[in-house]
Amino acid sequence: MTPDLAARRLLMSAHLYYDHSQPILSDAENDALAKYVSDHFDDLHPTRIWQLRNRKIILATTHHVKLTTQTIEASHAWYYSVKGSWPLHCAYCTSTKPYKESPTNGRYYQIGG
Ligand SMILES: [Zn+2]
């Protein structure tokens, strides 16, 4: 898995864990993914670095990351492909979350605030 794909999975996993309370990865899998992404942080696409913020923080938590609308929609599709059903409250994610605008990365919101 490329570092950037791993980073995208880590972001999608954070959305499903924190916003839906429907984790798709075990804690051990998520921790291993965070470690891999942290170890390859310099290889990530600048958008992924903007979303994740810091190579050290993600080892402890992803309760601060920025989720673009693209990340959110991809996480729903990932969940569907693995579980065979959509995560609960999908409509809420794409309609009423407190989105902000980034000049380069489109609409996003930040988990935890
Ligand atoms: Zn969602």
Q: How far is the CA of 17 from the centre of ligand 1 (A)?
A: 10
Ranges under pLDDT 70 in the chain: 113
Q: How far is the CA of 79 from the centre of ligand 1 (A)?
A: 10
- Dump pLDDT digits (tens) for 67-84: 999 999 999 999 999 999
Please, which contacts does 34-39 make with residues 24 or more away whose CB atoms are closer than 8 Å?
Answer: 34/10, 34/58, 34/59, 34/62, 35/59, 36/1, 36/3, 36/6, 37/3, 37/6, 37/7, 37/10
Q: How far is the CA of 109 from the centre of ligand 1 (A)?
A: 12
Q: Are 79 and 22 in contact (CB under 8 A)?
A: yes
Q: Are 52 and 10 in contact (CB under 8 A)?
A: yes
Q: How many CA atoms lie within 13 A of 98 on its CB side?
A: 4
Report the pLDDT value the prediction gives residue 93, as an integer from 0 to 100: 80
Q: How far is the CA of 67 from the centre of ligand 1 (A)?
A: 10
Q: How far is the CA of 35 from the centre of ligand 1 (A)?
A: 24
What does DSSP assign to residue 87?
P
Report the pLDDT value the prediction gives residue 95, as an integer from 0 to 100: 77
Q: How far is the CA of 82 from the centre of ligand 1 (A)?
A: 15
Q: How far is the CA of 86 from the centre of ligand 1 (A)?
A: 9
Report the pLDDT value the prediction gives residue 37, as an integer from 0 to 100: 98
* Orientation angle between helical segments 27-39 and 3-14, nearest 10 degrees: 140
